[in-house]
Structures are given as structure tokens and as C-alpha cells.
A and B are shown apart, each in its own frame.
Chain A
Amino acid sequence: DVKVTQSSRYLVKRTGEKVFLECVQDMDHENMFWYRQDPGLGLRLIYFSYDVKMKEKGDIPEGYSVSREKKERFSLILESASTNQTSMYLCASRAGRDYGYTFGSGTRLTVV
């Protein structure tokens, strides 16, 4: 089975801190995605990447950046954390367009 591993299950950070959320997949998938999930708002796409060093903005990229230096790792960076970035963050990967997404277990981030 494909595994998508997110480094932290729960994280508490202070306002203004730089936050790194790590995601690693073990099945050589080309495509990787970062979503945030909030009650009533569903899954919203932050950034995605189809190849190493490639990144594309999703629907809500403001306040975030990403890094993909290696194929298996896709990092989400909160440049200066704010309380409105308190959320569940989900990383996903897929082998290609005709395949389903495999999600990580999520990181619940609280910014205080």
C-alpha cells in the first residue's frame, strides 16, 4: 500500500513563527498536494506539485509556500503563522490523473 506520512499529528505554534509541515510518500508518485480542511468549508487546495522543483498555486496559496527538492517529499511552509491558519492540513499524492489520491493522516495545527 502507498503510504503518505505527515511528520506531526498535532502541532501548536505561536503567531509569527515560521512553520514547516513535512509530507513524504513512498511510492514514487509524481503528483503531490497540500489541502487544508475546515468545518463547513471542505477541502481547499493550497499548493500542488507535479514534479521535483515544480509547484503550482491552488485556490488559497496566500500565506503559504512549498518546497519539493526530492520526488518523495513535499513540504508546506507557513512563512509567518497567523491564527486564521489554525486548521487540519492534509497532504496527498497520486500516481497520475486516472488514479485516486492517497492522503496522509493529517496535521492538526493550532496557532496561538
Chain B
Amino acid sequence: GQQVMQIPQYQHVQEGEDFTTYCNSSTTLSNIQWYKQRPGGHPVFLIQLVKSGEVKKQKRLTFQFGEAKKNSSLHITATQTTDVGTYFCAAWFLSGNTPLVFGKGTRLSVIA
């Protein structure tokens, strides 16, 4: 089946360092969404990207959708301990009301 590959699986950073997670597909994506799951919590919707080359920002978080709509990234500038958690990308491959396909997530640890 269709899938999205997310890398890295784990990332440990010192507080203040930057962090990036990548989401890749061999097939063109329709839309992509990003979610954050805090330890012991549930995934929470962050953002949706729709257009080729789209860039969106939320404070220290920058989300990007590739020109070919086959990849996406989430970049966090100057990480803080509150950024700890697992970040998931989730994508649609087809038009229509299909379920999202989730990546396996990147677990971020921030060392104070």
C-alpha cells in the first residue's frame, strides 16, 4: 500500500539547537498534515499544507511542502524542553475523502 517514510526515527538535541524531521513519498501527495504527540498524550493537529512549495510558520516551527509534492519537512528553531514529543506527518494520496496515511513519527528528546 501507499506509505510515507519519516526520518529520523529518533533525534536527541541540546536545548537551543535546531531540529528537522522529513517526510518522503515515492508518489505525489495530495495534501499533508503534521501532528505532535506529547509523551503520554494523543496526537494533536498542527497544520495542513496543500500547495506545491508551500511554506507555513508557527512561531519557531516552519513547515514546508516540496515542489513536487512528494516530500515535506518540519523545522524547529532553537528547541525548548516543551518541544519534546513525537512528530507525525500524515498525507492523502488521492482526491476524495480517504483516510490519512500516517508516517511512523520522529521522537524528539531535548536535553536541557
Given contacts A41-B104, A43-B88, contact A97 B44 (CB under 8 A): no
- The verdict on A96 contacting B97 (CB below 8 Å), with A40-B104, A42-B102, A42-B105 known, is yes
Give Cα distance in the complex from A47 to B44, angstroms: 20
Q: Which residues of chain A come closer than 8 Å to B90, judged between CB atoms?
A: 101
In the bound complex, CA of A97 to CA of B96 (Å):
7
Q: Are A42 and B104 in contact (CB under 8 A)?
A: yes
Residues of B contacting A96 in the complex (Cβ-Cβ under 8 angstroms): 97
Binary per-residue interface labels of chain A (21-36) against chain B in the complex, 1 for a CB within 8 Å, 0 otherwise: 0000000000101010
Residues of A within 8 A of B105 (CB): 42
Which residues of B are in contact with A by a Cβ distance under 8 Å?
1, 31, 33, 35, 41-46, 48, 88, 90, 92, 96-100, 102-105
Q: A90-B42, A90-B43, A97-B96 are in contact. List 14 more A-B contacts (CB 8 A).
A: A42-B88, A42-B103, A45-B99, A50-B97, A97-B92, A97-B98, A100-B35, A100-B45, A101-B33, A102-B45, A103-B43, A103-B44, A104-B42, A106-B42
